[in-house]
Amino acid sequence: MTGESQPDPFAGHPDWQLDPPRPLVPTPATMTGQLRGRRVLIGLPGHGWRSDLRADEKVVQGSRTYVPVMSEGEWYRAEAEQTEIFAPLVPVERVWVEEYGVAGIPLPTDGVTSRLVSLDEPPRRAPQPALDAHSLSGRRVVRLREDGTEERDLRAVTEIHTNNEGSICARLATELDWYRWGWSGHAPRTLEVAVHLLWVE
């Protein structure tokens, strides 16, 4: 209807003021403990980085330490079906583990200058409100619960949309169900979550 103000989709949602989720802070695998199942990045300073990988425990061969690394999809399938898979051994000095930084301290996100990074290490990643993301489907997301705790290892399966009640939301699946969808063809169980509680990792 023209001439009438539209309702604020976030009115009455005190959760909109929740602190953002913790940022991702890559840490050298040489400085961490157990690695099994941890999300990691591999690469070389000055060259580039590859993400969406999972690690197994470090192994020592001769005088060198290596980390078995595999794609997340392979890791989830191996865990779900209890099967062995081939995991290339990456020198430990080329592996970085995704750790969580301190909540509530945003990383700069405005302007080109704030996006420039050093090539000496993988960049830190600050969560972005789902409402500000250009696309959502398939992205890693964090769901903030109403008590402020974080739920991770989720994937968005839709873009934001308006549901039957007029709320702006998106549908999520666990990462296990997301990857199982790819290898089995079975559509995942999904959960509808209000957009003000969603952040893109």
User: For the chain, what are the domain ranges?
Assistant: 20-103, 127-201
Instruction: Band the pLDDT of 160: cuts 50, 70, 90.
Output: very high
Please tell me the pTM assigned to this model.
0.83
Q: For residue 17, is pLDDT > 80?
A: no
Neighbours of 198 (CB within 10 A): 26
Whole-number Å distance between alpha carbons of 81 and 61? 28
144: closest CA among 134, 154, 135, 136? 154
Q: Among the residues of 41-174, which ranges form H helices?
A: 72-81, 111-115
Residue 3, sorted as left (phi over 0), alpha (psi -120 to 50) or beta, turns out to be left
Nearest to 195 by CA among 21, 12, 15, 6: 15
Q: Is the confidence at residue 199, as pLDDT, over 70? A: yes
pLDDT tens-place string over residues 85-127? 899 999 999 999 999 998 755 555 566 766 788 888 999 989 9
Q: Is the pLDDT of residue 35 over 80?
A: yes
